């Protein structure tokens, strides 16, 4: 109700909804946006955090050497699967399943092979970029199902905040071209509007598609009703289980020899040379080439060689790569059943969720998604800061800072600036912890949360302005030190990665320098604010983000 007793209009109601839906889950949404944005470069982070792989350089004989190694490493395996080096990885990623192994991921063994020699590489234990990716939608520090529910609800609240924000701002597009610096609350509102409107298509897409990814968890009743509660049957059908079953029944060429298993040292001689097969596939797939090879039943009469394209054909099929299957002993092509196209409903779902995940996106599109993610991160951060700034006049009238205002102010510092410090510390711990430490990957993650907790405690003992400045300066120093730490701890230097065109490694180091410059610029601006604050007009609201007075005598 308005002070005169009349009911509030739709915009006033939406403003209230926008404010509180954004604040109550704002810090969680900031962490989700931040880690999700970094996850667009998960493969590059994985590569950087395993310096043992940095000197692996592929050549024309990489696949042949890798298959020879697999014949020695796993001669009796049910299958070998090799992911070949590309723009985002420098080593061969091998996996295989031994006879009688447990079903699912637990029964799969993995190794990295040097692309230049074919030899296995012992790498340090780390979760790499996968930790940031899974934290993005599971929060890690709790049971997986609860983490997904919490992030799902937060995503829904984010969607509500976006829609209510559109309704609230009558001149939202006009405000996008307006920025008034040094105007306190007005400046922060302009910054919030600009980041929101500039990335609005991305924000709506990423939020709605995120809800689609959580759809079967948040609203499972339709699937349960049709499949009698057997969700595994539903997933099997969606992922092409029927097609896979049909492929298994394809007639095989006759004239095979006895099905007796062969000795490990003779396995490779039983497999047709793969180089001609790969070359023929590359001519058929000139854009992406061959990205992976799977050898089923190696060394036995029923052996097959499957070549997978290095990219997807259509997002409507969720970027499903094309495949060619050959007889493992003769090289004859085996034609399986034609894959059925996705329905219109399923295709729409696949397009949206594939865009959310950045599936098969090239470097330019991946950087566009990354920058859009940064825009969303800035939108959430400026909204959280704006909540504090808007309440400064109320605090001045009261002559004190209410507990709730002070709590929000401290959480803003520790959760916004502190998350940058914790992320940089995660990368530092990857290099500083002993490679032989038991449970090393878990200690990297524990270190991430310990550092983040310290960043939350730090503002309790400092006034807001110096707390912001000190944390941003610490983040800048940590990010700037990573390109120097890399060659000192087994990796390749930035100069070497640029010279050898190892763009994934060079891109990581350059991104860290860019983050260091960004955080350093903010810290420098905060340092200037210390000097300028003495000349600020009383009551102007300047520097409200970093200087929220706790008592009347501290007011500017």
What per-residue confidence (pLDDT) applies to 256? 46
What band does 42 get if pLDDT is binned at 50, 70 and 90? very high
Q: Of 51-60, 340-349, 398-407, where does the model show the most confidence?
A: 51-60
- Is residue 199 within 8 A of residue 376, CB to CB? The reply is yes
Q: Assign 3-class secondary structure to 330-354.
A: CCCEECCCCCCCCCHHHHHHHHHHH
Lowest mean pLDDT among 57-61, 98-102, 296-300: 98-102
What per-residue confidence (pLDDT) applies to 422? 97
DSSP 537: P
Whether 432 shows a pLDDT value over 90: the answer reads yes
For the chain, the domains span 9-50+124-245+344-389, 57-123+251-335, 391-556
DSSP 39: G
- Is residue 456 within 8 A of residue 411, CB to CB? The reply is yes
The mean pLDDT value of the chain amounts to 80
Percentage of the chain lying above the pLDDT 90 cut: 34
Top-confidence residue, 492 or 235: 492
Top-confidence residue, 438 or 343: 438
Whether 276 shows a pLDDT value over 50: the answer reads yes
Q: Assign 3-class secondary structure to 67-126.
A: HHHHHHHCCCCCEEEEECCECCECCEEEEEECCCCCCCHHHEEEEEECCCCCCEECCCCC
What per-residue confidence (pLDDT) applies to 183? 59
What per-residue confidence (pLDDT) applies to 175? 61
Q: Of 187-201, 294-308, 394-408, where does the model show the most confidence?
A: 294-308
What band does 550 get if pLDDT is binned at 50, 70 and 90? very low
Average confidence (pLDDT) over 62-69:
91
DSSP 413: I
Whether 511 shows a pLDDT value over 70: the answer reads yes
Whether 263 shows a pLDDT value over 60: the answer reads no
Average confidence (pLDDT) over 77-101:
88
Average confidence (pLDDT) over 269-292:
84
Q: How far apart are CA 531 and CA 402, in angstroms?
A: 27
Whether 44 shows a pLDDT value over 90: the answer reads yes
What per-residue confidence (pLDDT) applies to 540? 42
Average confidence (pLDDT) over 178-192:
63
What per-residue confidence (pLDDT) applies to 538? 47
């Amino acid at each position: 109700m308005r002070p005169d007793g009349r009911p509030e209009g739709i915009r006033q109601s939406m403003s209230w909804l926008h404010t509180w839906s954004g604040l109550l889950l704002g810090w969680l949404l900031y962490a989700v946006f931040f880690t999700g944005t970094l996850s667009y470069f998960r493969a590059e982070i994985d590569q950087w955090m395993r310096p043992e792989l940095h000197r692996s350089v592929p050549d024309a004989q990489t696949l042949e050497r890798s298959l020879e190694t697999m014949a020695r490493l796993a001669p009796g395996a049910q299958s070998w699967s090799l992911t070949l080096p590309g723009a985002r990885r420098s080593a061969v990623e091998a996996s295989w399943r031994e006879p009688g192994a447990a079903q699912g991921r637990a029964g799969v063994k993995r190794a990295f092979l040097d692309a230049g020699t074919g030899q296995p590489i012992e790498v340090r234990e780390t979760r790499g970029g996968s930790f940031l990716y899974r934290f993005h939608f599971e929060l890690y520090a709790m049971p997986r199902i609860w983490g997904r529910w919490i992030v799902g609800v937060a995503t829904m609240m984010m969607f509500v905040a976006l829609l209510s924000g559109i309704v609230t701002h009558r001149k939202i597009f006009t405000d996008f071209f307006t920025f008034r610096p040094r105007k306190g609350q007005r400046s922060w509102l302009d910054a919030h509007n600009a980041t929101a409107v500039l990335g609005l298509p991305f924000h709506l897409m990423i939020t709605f598609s995120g809800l689609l990814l959580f759809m079967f968890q948040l609203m499972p009743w339709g699937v349960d009703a049709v499949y009698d509660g057997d969700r595994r049957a539903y997933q099997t059908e969606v992922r092409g289980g029927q097609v896979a079953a049909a492929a298994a029944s394809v007639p095989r060429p006759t004239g095979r020899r006895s099905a007796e298993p062969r000795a490990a040292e003779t396995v490779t001689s039983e497999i047709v040379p793969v180089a001609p097969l790969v070359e023929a596939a590359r001519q058929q797939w000139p854009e992406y080439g061959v990205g992976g090879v799977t050898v089923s039943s190696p060394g036995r009469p029923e052996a097959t060689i499957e070549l997978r394209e290095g990219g997807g054909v259509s997002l409507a099929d969720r970027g499903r790569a094309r495949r060619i299957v050959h007889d493992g002993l003769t090289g004859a092509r085996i034609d399986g059943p034609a894959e059925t196209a996705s329905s219109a409903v399923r295709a729409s779902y696949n397009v949206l969720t594939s865009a959310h995940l950045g599936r098969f996106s090239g470097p330019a599109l991946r950087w566009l998604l990354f920058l859009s993610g940064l825009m969303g991160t800035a939108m959430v951060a400026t909204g959280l800061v704006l909540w504090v700034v808007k309440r400064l006049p109320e605090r001045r009238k009261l002559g004190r800072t209410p507990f709730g205002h002070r709590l929000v102010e401290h959480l803003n510092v520790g959760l916004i600036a502190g998350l940058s410090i914790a992320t940089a510390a995660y990368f530092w711990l990857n290099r500083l912890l002993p490679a032989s430490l038991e449970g090393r990957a878990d200690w990297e993650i524990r270190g991430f949360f310990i550092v983040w907790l310290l960043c939350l405690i730090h503002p309790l003992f400092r006034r807001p302005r110096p707390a912001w400045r000190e944390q941003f300066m610490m983040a800048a120093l940590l990010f700037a030190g990573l390109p120097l730490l890399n060659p000192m701890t087994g990796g390749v230097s930035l100069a070497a990665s640029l010279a050898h065109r190892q763009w994934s490694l060079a891109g990581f180091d350059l991104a860290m320098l860019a983050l260091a410059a960004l955080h350093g610029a903010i810290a420098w601006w905060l340092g200037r604010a210390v000097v300028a604050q003495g000349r600020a007009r009383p009551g102007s609201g300047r520097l409200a983000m970093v200087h929220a007075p706790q008592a009347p005598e501290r007011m500017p």
